[in-house]
Amino acid sequence: MKAITSLLRHFVVQKARFSNKEAAHCIAAGRVLVNGQKGYLNQVLLPEDTVTLDGAVIKAPQAFIYLAYYKPRGVESTLNPNIENNLAQALGLKERVFPVGRLDKESEGLMLLTNDGVFYNRISHSDNHQEKEYVVTVNKALTSEVIAQLAAGVEIMGQKTRPAQVAQVGEKAFRIVLTQGLNRQIRRMCYKLGYEVERLVRVRVVSIEVGELQPGEWREFHLEEV
């Protein structure tokens, strides 16, 4: 998912149905304003920009949506309408938003959804080492050795996972903060150490927390929260 951009001249040609020469004269004469300022030929337009021609709006700013959603167990992290129990069905929104990262069907908790491509790429790109925090319940008692191994990294799928922050919070439960998102990473790590995951809840992505959201609920958030 990428932010949609275009050059001002090309945009005026398409929107006003001018020739390239007419669009260039129009822009040079100051008839085209971008966010209230005189535009220039090869100015790159961003989704949030407002463009006017002779005072009439020909491009309104795109309204970005940022949602914190508690994905229930059993909902698939996809917008594919051909897959049962998909996100689009679960959310029931008119606006199209995209999940930032995934949670497997049997996992639950916080998902971020947006139509802002820049934000999407910044959070979802694994090289950015963005923190994601989970509370995990396994099928038998944990040991200090297992907690230490989870923190140090576990060999899965031919590679060792990055070091993680791990703290035991119950006889069979622990918190873990990851900075990568390998496929079914926590489940694979636990399985490699002889455990099965009984419940996996994501409670935080960067600085956005699931808070008091209940399964199936969502709230809007602002970029200032991140």
Residues β-bridged to residue 71: 109
Place of tokens 């989704």: 47
CB of 201 closer than 8 Å to CB of 107: yes
CA-to-CA dists, residue 147 to 163, 175, 187, angstroms: 12, 10, 14
Residues annotated as catalytic are 104
- Residue among 80, 91, 86 nearest 218 (CA): 91
**CB-based contacts of 109, cutoff 8 Å, min separation 6:** 70, 71, 103, 134, 200, 201, 202, 203, 210
Q: What stretches of 34-154 show up as alpha helix (H) in DSSP?
A: 87-91, 117-124, 144-152
3-state class of 56 per DSSP?
strand
Q: What angle do CA 177, 204, 166 make, to 5 degrees?
A: 20
- Residue among 47, 198, 69 nearest 135 (CA): 198
